[in-house]
């Protein structure tokens, strides 16, 4: 019953958050397979402010660690590396997507189920933070 209430609330909440000219939209966390200690969060981050903004970190409630990461393919080798900062120019949209930029979520305190939410807090170089409630979903086609 609790999961049903959370699912109903998540369907009523917008899948966007904004503050200071920054907007997060289309956010989701795919459910992790059983026993997996790391998975990811994806979203679009748009800067509608008149100045470049620098994303320097992220926290995720219910996880031991969260990091900005980038996946890349170099030839036949797939790599993933930590990203220290991401500059978002005025009017620019940065897409966090499978196979590219993403938030790496490490060591969940509990198994996530469809309909749960993960509170991500994005941190910017100017000290501003942007909290985003991100729904946990089944893996999307094309993801």
Q: What does the alpha-carbon distance between residue 105 and residue 120 come to, in Å, rounded to a whole number?
A: 10
3-state DSSP call for residue 113?
coil
pLDDT tens readout for residues 104-128: 999 999 888 899 999 999 999 999 9
3-state secondary structure string, 4-52? HHHHHHHHHCCCEEEECCEEEEEEEEECCCCCCCEEEEEEEEEECCCCC
Q: For residue 143, name the pLDDT band (cuts at 50, 70, 90).
A: very low
Q: Could you count the other beta carbons within 10 Å of the beta carbon of residue 76?
A: 5
Q: Enumerate the domain spans of the chain.
A: 2-134
The CATH code for residues 2-134 is 2.60.40.1890
pLDDT tens readout for residues 63-107: 999 999 998 887 888 888 899 999 999 999 999 999 999 999 999
Q: Kindly state the tokens that stand for 10.
A: 């998540």
Q: What does the alpha-carbon distance between residue 143 and residue 139 come to, in Å, rounded to a whole number?
A: 7
Q: What does the alpha-carbon distance between residue 106 and residue 43 come to, in Å, rounded to a whole number?
A: 18
Q: What predicted TM-score, i.e. pTM, was given to this entire model?
A: 0.83
pLDDT tens readout for residues 10-42: 333 445 676 789 999 999 999 988 888 899 999
């Amino acid at each position: 019953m609790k999961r049903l209430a959370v699912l109903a609330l998540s369907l009523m909440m917008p899948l966007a958050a904004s503050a200071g000219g920054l907007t997060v939209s289309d956010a989701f966390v795919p459910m992790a397979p059983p026993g997996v200690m790391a998975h990811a969060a994806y979203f679009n981050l748009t800067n509608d402010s008149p100045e470049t903004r620098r994303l320097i970190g992220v926290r995720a409630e219910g996880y031991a660690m969260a990091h900005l990461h980038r996946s890349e393919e170099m030839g036949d080798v797939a790599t993933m590396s930590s990203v220290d900062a991401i500059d978002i120019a005025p009017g620019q949209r940065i897409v966090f997507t499978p196979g590219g930029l993403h938030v790496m979520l490490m060591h969940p305190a509990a198994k996530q189920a469809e309909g749960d939410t993960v509170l991500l807090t994005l941190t910017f170089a100017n000290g501003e933070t942007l909290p985003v409630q991100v729904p946990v979903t089944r893996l999307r086609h094309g993801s």
